[in-house]
């Protein structure tokens, strides 16, 4: 039996589907920022991947971004992954996350609160040097408005 690759058929594509943040209002607002072209990056705690036994995203990965209720809004492709200590995340990354006033201080304040909750859930303590997965992405598909 021939495999899909030898017959020049497209290989199956695996998508992850997820929403941003851990509350409905933020999840929906951040999805809207992606649709508006303002949000082009997201950050997660490396320790979460370790605790879950899952892999860090890599360039080329595809994700279906949803609203809190699971309604899909678009597909993004990861373009870059860099892991920084929390206290060394660059201002340019905070800007690309597109949230609030897009400043590094805003980014630190919001993410420190979020990472504090995430650390507590996995039995870790927040540290200035905790590893943060900084993911840049591009939107590759959005449904045509009706």
Q: Is 31 exposed, middle or buried (0-12, 13-18, 19+ CB in 10 A)?
A: buried
Q: Is residue 145 classed as helix, strand or coil in its secondary structure?
A: coil
pTM, entire model: 0.88
What contacts 57, CB < 8 A, 6 or more positions away? 63, 78, 81, 133, 135
85-129 pLDDT, tens per residue? Answer: 999 999 999 999 999 999 999 999 999 999 999 999 999 999 999
State which fold the 15-141 domain adopts: Sulfate adenylyltransferase (3.10.400)
Phi and psi at residue 58, to the nearest 5°: -135, 155
Per-domain boundaries in the chain = 15-141
16-72 pLDDT, tens per residue? Answer: 899 999 899 999 999 999 999 999 999 999 999 999 999 999 999 999 999 999 999
Query: Per 3-state DSSP, what percentage of the chain is helix, strand, and coil (rounded to 5)?
Result: 35, 25, 40
């Amino acid at each position: 039996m021939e495999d899909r690759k030898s017959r020049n058929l497209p290989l199956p594509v695996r998508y992850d589907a997820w929403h941003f943040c851990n509350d409905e209002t933020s999840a929906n607002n951040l999805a809207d920022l992606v649709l508006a072209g303002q949000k082009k990056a997201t950050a997660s705690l490396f320790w979460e991947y370790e605790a879950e036994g899952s892999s860090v995203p890599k360039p080329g990965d595809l994700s279906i971004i949803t609203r809190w209720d699971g309604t899909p809004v678009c597909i993004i492709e990861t373009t870059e992954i860099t892991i920084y200590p929390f206290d060394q995340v660059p201002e340019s990354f905070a800007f690309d996350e597109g949230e609030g006033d897009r400043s590094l201080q805003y980014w630190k304040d919001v993410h420190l609160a979020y990472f504090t909750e995430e650390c507590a859930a996995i039995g870790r303590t927040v540290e200035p040097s905790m590893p943060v997965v900084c993911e840049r992405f591009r939107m590759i598909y959005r449904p045509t408005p009706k």
